[in-house]
Amino acid sequence: MSGYRSSGAHRALVAALLLAAVAAAGGDCTDPALAPKPQIEHVLNRIGYGPDVWSRLRIGGIGVAAYIDEQLHPESIDDSLFEARIASLDALQLDWEALQASFCSGCPMGRSSDALDQLRTAKLLRSIYSRRQLEAVLVDFWFDHFNVDASSGLGRVGAVTHERDAIRPHVLERFEDMLVSTAQSPAMLDYLDNGTNQREDAQGLGLNENYARELLELHTLGVETGFTQEDVVAVARAMTGWLLVQRWKDYLLPSGEVDHERSQAVYEQSRFFEFQLTAHDRGEKHVLRELEIPRSGGMDDGLALLSFLANHPRTAERVSTLLIRRFVSEDPPPQLVAEARDTFLATGGDLREVMRTILTSPDFLQEHYREKVKRPLVLAASLVRATGADLRVGRVELESVDRQIADMGEPLYMAPEPIGFPEDSVHWASSATLFKRFNLIHAIARNPWLGINYGVVGGSAGEIVEALIPRLVPGGISPETRIAVSEYVEQVKRADPVRVSEAAAMLLSTSEFLTH
Amino acid sequence: MSLTRRDLMKCGAVSLASFLVPGAVRMAKAGSPDSVVVSIFLRGAADGLSLVVPHGDPAYYKVRPSIHVPAGDVIDLDGFYGLHPALAPLQSHFEAGRLAVIHAVGSPDATRSHFDAQHFMDTAQLSSRFETRGWLNRFLGAQRAPDHFGGISVGSGTSPSLRGAHPTLDFSSLADFGLGGAFAPARMAALESLYIGGPDFALGAAADGAFAALDVLARVEPSGAGLYPDTDFGAALCNAAALIKADLGVRAICVDLGGWDHHSEAPRQIGPVASDLASSLAAFHTDLEGAAARTLTLAMTEFGRAALENGSGGTEHGHGSVMFALGGGVSGGRVLTAGGAWPGLEPENLHEGRDLAITTDFRDVFAEILDRHLGVANPSELLPGFAVDRSFYPGLFA
């Protein structure tokens, strides 16, 4: 599959640009000043949500290799402008206890459902405005990997801490740490039921295999490993006692007296992770004929299991394959999978090094340009970044974009199945969403209230299109596309600002922009 | 920014179809080129033992001590099987002989992976993750069904059952299929010139379908909005009924209904989704009017749930489950199992000691529908790796 309508023409163009750049740079095609534009667009598209002004200047200034390295160390990037944009979203600052107490539905003083709304807003704004673009993409990737559905149950508030505490700190650190933290995440314990998984003879309750199965199938080894039902039961037994439990806490009225009504309501609706030895199956377990967990263990049974799974060669291969599907190609090159897997195993699952192996490979840097169809969030974020539109918390435009992403099949944080949203161009390239994509693009690109300045005052149709290309589709467009867009702009007999924004909307509607 | 899935899909509420091409309401017989299959995939593994309860089997109450459907709540069908109370809207269809249930049906593949099992059922190929063509896409190709309109997915993206070389269409709602904003006609022409004629990549194929459908779908007007429950699934079937009645050459429609993976608190969870299924199907049948006779609706699920309840008041992934076949000349009013035998729920009867066994291979159901409803001369060609034998058909059309 190729991302271009006339892929041959595009390939020739890329090749010509690459050759010219290589020749001019004396063979060093990573020279910052001379990195070919299709490569710059590609890198910004894949390790982020597309080019914006800052990222274009930054990658142009320090070069592709240094930009990638900088993105691999997000803590080194000043993100204060973005942080200021989300400062008013107070739910995101609260710890788990305060979050549940403030947002439990039906609680007196509880704000019913807007913790999730704040999280959705923050995700959209982060995708658009955070300079830590790779981290934003990785958090999206790993949320899909460890998916919880925030549309019901504890997920409505739990998605906040699931992402913030269980996933984000680990996306460029050790995989094992992320596996352990997601295993203890209240949203996960609720969504895949491990929070009720107990040893068989405990007061009428008993095993729940839901988490155990998806832990093996989705989070670690993969179904191809051929684990058996006995393995699932053994894993479920090892994870018994990792429970969601209620805790009483006194909440006080302004007068200083205990607010019994609120305390009771919070108690009923709050859940905390707690290991309870009395609910743990302390018998011995055998997993995959490889791991023997001796009898009389406690929480260390589960930790030993998670460590075994996190560092298993099949997990290394599966995680590498999934990352490469996201960042490189949906038909992952076997050699690159092997290299990433080897890095994973050699570094004890250091995800920064796995990402470095992938992002510095020729497969990533030089192939598969515009091969993938943008997912709805990617489309929306890259659209706003390209136009420079200013979306703010509380503004109707931001809510509208969120709604349209959902309408195109990606309601943020609400993928119903444990596998998350599909990383699959054929799925996202649907007839149903095509016009929705065009409508969203037109609505943003033409909107006069978003502070968009295309930096083009007017001219002939051809001149306008030419002037917009470096900013909107810096990797270039095919000759056929250039003609079709110019012919359209010819027909718009209006004032120059309208012609410019119509030209922008049409350029952003091309397959060159809808793919990445 | 409150948003629910409810907001995502609407069935345009308008008057009776103002657009019906001449001949649209003609009656057609099953097996003719006008016959339609509507595939409802209950994704997430629906519990056949709760949907169609074997209340005549005492072992049912033993394997489900705390989560059985109480005997007094079961809607008895034949003295042995009965419907979950939330399926009450289907009772009259069963009694009128329009609805057949196939019980203890499923895949011979023993996987308990949702994703593998769905893939095997969508492709009607067991044990291969490499086959990507959906069984209904193979049907459309073999029947030379119309491009785009022959097979339609209603919901989010192309249904895996319809994926493949034969061009199909997907849409989420008739009400918002098209271009909005300024200069729409000129933009549409420009976009068409940008996208049409580009074969060979995903976006081009989607664009071909979208532009082809634009004019046609603009004239299709759903007429049954008031009949359906206010759910995404109801809206999807409302749109599906309009497409079938508009006589566009539709042969296969796919709609998903998820939300069946009840590992805990199963009795509380199954009611709403079962109710959505039943009331939407009943509305759909009414809405189809004269087209109901040529439209067979088949509801399936990737596997059933364990017969034995788990420790959380729910059920784990299991094996055998149920299918529902409504309309399209089905000889209903019967719960079908191979040889009329119930596999039983005593420990020695259970698949791997815990699940309802299967007596009917789901591919036998597909084969019978392809053969006797859809008029496929040789269903074996559409079910690779499966030897079709009419003596194994479940007997939907007796």
Q: What is the pLDDT of residues A390-421, one digit of tens each?
A: 999 988 999 999 999 999 999 999 998 999 99
Three-state secondary structure call for residue A287: strand
**C-beta atoms of A491 and B186 within 8 A:** yes
Residues of A in contact with B233 (CB under 8 A): none
**Nearest C-alpha in B relative to A440:** B180
pLDDT the model gives residue B194: 92
Residues of B in contact with A510 (CB under 8 A): 194
**C-beta atoms of B179 and A210 within 8 A:** no
Residues of A in contact with B310 (CB under 8 A): 206-209
Chain A interface, best mutation among B6, B133, B137, B156, by max A CB count within 10 A: B156
Give strand ranges (E) for B272-319: 295-301, 305-309, 315-317
Question: What is the tens place of the pLDDT at every residue in A413-471?
Answer: 999 899 999 999 988 998 888 999 999 999 999 999 999 999 999 999 999 999 999 99
pLDDT the model gives residue A36: 84
Rounded to a whole number of angstroms, the distance from the CA of A253 to the nearest CA of chain B is 30
Neighbour tally for B212: CB within 10 Å = 18
pLDDT the model gives residue A111: 65
Residues of A in contact with B186 (CB under 8 A): 488, 491-492
**C-beta atoms of B2 and A114 within 8 A:** yes
Residues of A in contact with B43 (CB under 8 A): 417
Three-state secondary structure call for residue B75: strand
Nearest-angstrom CA–CA distance, B277 and B83:
13
Map A333-365 to HEC letters. Answer: CHHHHHHHHHHHHHCCCEHHHHHHHHHCCHHHH
pLDDT the model gives residue B10: 63
Rounded to a whole number of angstroms, the distance from the CA of A234 to the nearest CA of chain B is 15
- Candidate from B114, B171, B191 with C-beta closest to A438: B191
User: What is the pLDDT confidence band of residue A152, given thresholds at 50, 70 and 90?
Assistant: confident
The answer to whether residues A493 and A481 touch, using CB atoms and an 8 Å cutoff, is no
Nearest-angstrom CA–CA distance, A192 and A227:
19
Q: What is the mean pLDDT of residues A259-279?
A: 90
Residues of B in contact with A121 (CB under 8 A): 1
**C-beta atoms of A487 and B190 within 8 A:** yes
pLDDT the model gives residue B219: 85
pLDDT the model gives residue A34: 56
Residue found under tokens 């016009």 = A435
Question: What is the tens place of the pLDDT at every residue in A490-504?
Answer: 999 999 999 999 999
Question: What is the tens place of the pLDDT at every residue in A60-114?
Answer: 999 999 999 999 999 999 999 999 999 999 999 999 999 988 887 666 566 645 8
How many CB contacts within 8 angstroms connect chain A with chain B?
A: 194
**C-beta atoms of B115 and A217 within 8 A:** yes
**Nearest C-alpha in A relative to B65:** A204
Residues of chain B where predicted confidence (pLDDT) is lower than 70: 1-32, 197-200
pLDDT the model gives residue A26: 39
State the pTM of this model: 0.89
pLDDT at residue A284 is higher than 60: yes
pLDDT the model gives residue A2: 35
What the block records as the tokens of B128 is 């291969």
Residue A141 CA to chain centroid, in angstroms?
4
Which range among A165-169, A249-253, B200-204, B349-353 shows the weakest confidence by mean pLDDT? B200-204
Nearest-angstrom CA–CA distance, B319 and B311:
19
pLDDT the model gives residue B129: 75
- Radius of gyration of chain B measured on its C-alpha atoms: 21
Exposure of B160 by Cβ count < 10 A (0-12 exposed, 13-18 middle, 19+ buried)? Answer: buried
pLDDT the model gives residue B247: 87
CA distances from B251 to A67, A328, B43, B177, B388 (A): 52, 38, 22, 21, 22
Nearest-angstrom CA–CA distance, B52 and B69:
10
Nearest-angstrom CA–CA distance, B262 and B317:
9
Tell which residue, A273, A274, A293, has the closest CA to residue A285: A293
Task: Give the list of residues 6+ apart from residue A377 with CB closer than 8 angstroms, or none.
Answer: A49, A123, A124, A127, A140, A405, A410, A412
pLDDT the model gives residue B36: 98
Residues of B in contact with A417 (CB under 8 A): 43-44, 114, 258
**What percent of chain A has a predicted confidence (pLDDT) above 70?**
91
Q: What is the DSSP string of B325-372?
A: EESTT---S-EE-GGG-----SGGGSBTTTB---SEEHHHHHHHIIII
Long-range contacts of the stretch B375-380 (C-beta < 8 A, 24+): B375/B31, B375/B32, B375/B33, B375/B35, B375/B143, B376/B139, B376/B142, B376/B143
